[in-house]
Amino acid sequence: MEKELLYPVTNQYRFDQSLDGLWDFKFDEAAEGQQQGWPQKGLPAAIQMPVPASFNDFFTDKAAREYTGDFWYAKRVFVPRAFQGRVIGLRFGAATHRATVYVNGQEIRQHEGGFLPFTADISSVVKFDQENLVVLKLNNELHRDALPAGDTGVLKNGKKMAKPFFDFYNYSGLNRSVQLMAVPQDRVTDYSVTTTLTATTAEVHYTVTTSQATAKVTVTLQDEQGTVVATGHGRQGTLIVDQPQLWNVRDAHLYTIAIQLTVNDDPVDEYRDQIGLRTIEIVGHQILVNGEPVYLKGFGRHEDSIYAGRAFDLNVEKRDFELMKWMGANSFRTSHYPYDEAVYRFADREGFLIIDEVPAVGFKMAAASFLGGLDQSFFDGEWTTELYKKHLDQITDMVHRDKNHPSVLAWSLLNEPDTSSKSAVPYFEKLFADTQALDPDQRPRTFTLNEDDTFDTSYCKQFPDFYLLNRYPGWYHKWGYEISDGEAGLRAELDKWQASEIDKPVVFSEYGADTQPGLHKLPSVMWSEEYQIELLQMFNRVFDSYDFIRGEQPWNLADFQTVEGNMRVNGNKKGLFTRDRQPKEAAFYLRKRWAGIDNNF
């Protein structure tokens, strides 16, 4: 069960019970919880903590907000007798950054990686028709050999302190839902679908994996009217759909796939999901969906909001989608970590394209030196062997979890790594080789090229299937009145891309200006709303000059929290919207531009 990532459902064979709500919670600065017997006895003098939530912003004292180290959760969970005979599991949507799970005093499993789900099989220790003590030890320290990359400092007063090599707050906790699951012994454990198109049909190639070899497998596809349009038998096959309703950008049509297992004609399990029939290709400078070119209009985002930090909040997500639709957007990048599963379901239904990104962020000593790191190439560090294992593991889980979403366009394997040194090449060679076969749909793989990783300076341009450029002339250099030099420099670099043999699309995945809402100045100054528009106008003039630029995703949809710093005014203010999701002037400007750019431009 521990490698199963199917989204939990309740039906006549399966039970999914939410464990969200208030849990016992306790910091453990002395890291003594284990020898104090907390897994066996529960948490002494615990406080109450909402789940899902980051703990940080609830508190009124800085030591609690900034707490770094071990911290514990506990909850007594009643498991009804009705679940007997099934495999019983606990599914954690995200425990940031690492967790150890105990049930009734027994250690069940550990998990590393704060932005992907994992399941603990508790069948061997669960007690039916009574309460079971579920205890978790979490840890939110940052390390150079873990994702996202950073250091953990120790202050003179003995307090640990997170030192991220990345620009988002190290929100920590059970940031996504926790579920109690009961599933059949003989069950569907995974499935995958890929689509090929002919002039009049869609061929849906499916693979089903099951926990046991005995059951017979039947797969049906139903259209939006509930009509069964195709049926297949066996663990592998192809369903032919005549006159299919294809999944298109901002014109989504979904089918229901139903996978039934029977033993001696008796049904033992069923798993249903929503899928979209579409193809994705990179052909020359074009990104094609169902053979049609698409132009990406969208954003870099964060799962970030006031009160609960990085907690997944369906209300915020709904508002974000309404804002993106209002803007005329059709895509976003899950910067800088895989988002909650509900986000991909939203995108499937709304016809948005997603660049799905793992938290391989901060792999750059310059970022560290911004925080007092070393001046060396990140990939020369002795930490890269251990880091690689975790990196590949998290890409594997991201693809495993998200591979059936029609909205997922591509996999972003890193954000702004240091590729300006040859020492990056062996790491990238292995990463792109080891991830080649993970996705049955063989979606494009990419990473974002930072400011310093230009056409001339990056040693890793040979790897991505298309390019994501993060560029900040007008903000991090050639800013203010010098922005015209910034534009000239950007054009000079793009002229080299254009003159090269490189025959792949380029998408601008980050550009922008920190902007204080309500700050107006004529003529403009940096941080004013006028300047944010001027900077976007500069980039848009450049985008409109090169036909190999196939997308624009300014940084960021909304303002978001970062560490304190002399370059941050209570967080990063590059949002087109404020953190409470209200528009800055630039949102109206960009909305007007995007109204004139067709999704299939």
Ligand X SMILES: CCC[C@@H]1NC[C@@H](O)[C@H](O)[C@H]1C(=O)O
Could you give the CA distance from residue 438 to residue 497 in angstroms, rounded to a whole number? Answer: 30
- With binding defined as CB under 6 A, does residue 303 bind ligand X? no
- With binding defined as CB under 6 A, does residue 313 bind ligand X? no
| Stretch of 113-121, 406-414, 469-477, 583-591 lying at the interface with ligand X (CB under 6 A) | 469-477
Interaction pattern, residues 542-581, with ligand X; x per rule: CB under 6 A? -------------x----------------x-x-------
**H/E element, 390:** helix 384-402
Judging by DSSP bridges, how do beta strands 160-164 and 178-183 pair with one another? unpaired
Region 328-347 residues binding ligand X, contact defined as CB under 6 A: 336
Q: Which of 510, 529, 534, 552 is catalytic?
A: 510
Region 158-177 residues binding ligand X, contact defined as CB under 6 A: 167
| Minimum CB distance to ligand X smaller for 276 or for 512 | 512
| Minimum CB distance to ligand X smaller for 57 or for 167 | 167
Q: Which structure tokens are listed for 597?
A: 């750019």
Question: How many residues of this chain bind ligand X (CB under 6 A)?
Answer: 11
Contacts of 450 (CB under 8 A, 6+ apart): 364, 416, 417, 418, 470
Could you give the CA distance from residue 93 to residue 144 in angstroms, rounded to a whole number? Answer: 24
- With binding defined as CB under 6 A, does residue 524 bind ligand X? no
* φ, ψ dihedrals at 465, nearest 5°: -80, -25
- With binding defined as CB under 6 A, does residue 478 bind ligand X? no
Q: Which of 416, 487, 534, 552 is catalytic?
A: 416
CB of 531 to ligand X, least distance (A): 15
CB of 471 to ligand X, least distance (A): 8
| Minimum CB distance to ligand X smaller for 42 or for 338 | 338
| Minimum CB distance to ligand X smaller for 75 or for 574 | 574
- With binding defined as CB under 6 A, does residue 78 bind ligand X? no
Structure-token match 């889980």, residue found: 397
Q: Which structure tokens are listed for 160?
A: 């640990």
Q: Which of 96, 177, 211, 470 binds ligand X (CB under 6 A)?
A: 470
Interaction pattern, residues 210-249, with ligand X; x per rule: CB under 6 A? ----------------------------------------
Q: Which of 472, 497, 508, 577 binds ligand X (CB under 6 A)?
A: 472
**H/E element, 532:** helix 529-543
Region 438-467 residues binding ligand X, contact defined as CB under 6 A: 451
β-partners of residue 572 are: 560
β-partners of residue 173 are: 96
Helix/strand/coil for 446: strand
| Minimum CB distance to ligand X smaller for 255 or for 467 | 467
| Minimum CB distance to ligand X smaller for 330 or for 553 | 553
- With binding defined as CB under 6 A, does residue 370 bind ligand X? no
**Is residue 416 annotated as a catalytic residue, yes or no?**
yes
| Minimum CB distance to ligand X smaller for 78 or for 370 | 370
CB of 334 to ligand X, least distance (A): 12
Handedness of CA 473, 381, 94, 69 (dihedral sign): negative
Could you give the CA distance from residue 506 to residue 510 in angstroms, rounded to a whole number? Answer: 12
Could you give the CA distance from residue 116 to residue 248 in angstroms, rounded to a whole number? Answer: 27
| Minimum CB distance to ligand X smaller for 476 or for 588 | 476
- With binding defined as CB under 6 A, does residue 59 bind ligand X? no
Could you give the CA distance from residue 294 to residue 250 in angstroms, rounded to a whole number? Answer: 11
| Stretch of 64-72, 91-99, 142-150, 468-476 lying at the interface with ligand X (CB under 6 A) | 468-476
- With binding defined as CB under 6 A, does residue 510 bind ligand X? yes
CB of 148 to ligand X, least distance (A): 10
Contacts of 312 (CB under 8 A, 6+ apart): 52, 93, 94, 175, 176, 177, 303, 339, 340, 342, 343
Q: Which of 326, 476, 481, 601 binds ligand X (CB under 6 A)?
A: 476
**Is residue 510 annotated as a catalytic residue, yes or no?**
yes
Comparing CA positions, the residue from 206, 287, 292, 293 lying closest to residue 241 is 206
Comparing CA positions, the residue from 495, 516, 489, 492 lying closest to residue 578 is 516
* φ, ψ dihedrals at 40, nearest 5°: -95, -35
Q: Which of 350, 416, 487, 559 binds ligand X (CB under 6 A)?
A: 416
CB of 554 to ligand X, least distance (A): 11
CB of 181 to ligand X, least distance (A): 34
β-partners of residue 90 are: 120, 180
Angle between helix 314-327 and 341-350 (nearest 10): 30
What Å distances lie between residue 345 and 150, 168, 342, CA to CA? 31, 25, 5
Structure-token match 């940052």, residue found: 142
**H/E element, 137:** strand 130-139
| Stretch of 61-69, 109-117, 470-478, 499-507 lying at the interface with ligand X (CB under 6 A) | 470-478
Are the C-beta atoms of 23 and 58 separated by less than 8 Å?
A: no
Contacts of 442 (CB under 8 A, 6+ apart): 194
Judging by DSSP bridges, how do beta strands 70-79 and 130-139 pair with one another? antiparallel
CB of 190 to ligand X, least distance (A): 32
Q: Which residues bind ligand X (CB under 6 A)?
A: 167, 336, 416, 451, 470, 472, 476, 510, 555, 572, 574
Active site residues: 416, 510
